[in-house]
Amino acid sequence: MKFVRYGEAGQEKPGVLDADGGIRDLSVLMRDLGGETLAHLGALEGLDVAALPKIEGTPRLGPPVAGIGKFICIGLNFADHAAESGAQVPPEPIIFMKASSAVCGPDDPIVIPRGSDKTDWEVELAVIIGKRAKYVSEAEALTHVAGYAVTNDVSERAFQNERQGQWTKGKSCDAFGQLGPWLVTPHEIGDPQNLKMWLTVNGETKQDGSTATMVYGVAHLISYLSRFMTLHPGDVISTGTPPGVGMGQSPQQFLKAGDIVELGIEGLGRQRQAVLADDPA
């Protein structure tokens, strides 16, 4: 099943896609798609979606999960992306955090922050946790997944790499975490390690990869992270990006106001973002 949250920012309602790709209202069954609700999405597999109220028009889509507690990112998780970054494949996953305030809808604009000249793109597979996970094995790890989604791990490389401190400040600017359009349940997506992923800027292909080439797969990441922190329903893990980011271009290429970024992952939908500048008022 494909779940969505639709409506104006901060006022989204839960929905589900019908057989024709239309949105059906789920607010008659649940308050929102978040927290403990995520653990019970599997119980809706037999739901008569066509009997739910249909939403007319094309409303804005918000992030498909509400109340994200932790947005955990994995760095250099594709060997060819590590190479283009001038880095070695890490001996264990690199973990950093993206502020949950960066998360927005799949087609909400990318806003270049003030002082930025190296805002970059990264298509990534997002894993949405549905059941509390602490010290879980790889064999049971995927049973803790509520679903998968597309995310754009937008990054400001100068903030990230050329200033003091951790990567977090280069990853957490407002509108640096487009998520969605859908939360797709594991039953529908099948193997998360065999999904094509792509990204274009102004119609030119920049990233063309597959989750098959991850260094550390989804099950390993969930198990690994659960050794250091409890994963709660609604937590999001962004699992790394294939090569083709702006920092890896020759010459390097970064986003500017007026650009259009499009990206997607097989079975999980696509995103489209206009790039805007956060100019002083």
- Model's pTM, two decimal places? 0.96
**pLDDT value for 281:** 58
Total count of domains within the chain? 1
> What is the structure's pLDDT at 81?
74
**Residues in CB range of 228: below 8 A, 6 or more apart:** 95
> Does 254 reside within a domain?
yes
| Residue 85 falls inside a structural domain | yes
Q: Is residue 113 part of a domain?
A: yes
Whether residue 10 lies inside any domain: the answer is no
- At residue 86, the pLDDT reads 76
Is 261 inside a domain boundary? yes
The CATH number for 214's domain is 3.90.850.10
Beta bridge partners of 276: 111
Assigned domain for 42 exists: no
Residue 51 falls within a domain, yes or no?
no
Inter-residue long-range contacts of 112-117, CB under 8 Å, 24+ positions, other chains counted: 112/255, 112/256, 112/257, 112/275, 112/276, 112/277, 112/278, 113/156, 113/159, 113/173, 113/174, 113/278, 114/278, 114/279, 114/280, 116/156, 116/158, 116/159, 116/173, 117/158, 117/254
Ordered mean pLDDT values, 10 residues apiece, the chain (281 residues): 97 97 95 94 92 96 97 91 77 95 98 96 98 98 98 96 86 97 96 97 97 96 98 98 94 97 98 92 58
Position 38 in a domain = no
**Domain residues for 73?**
61-277
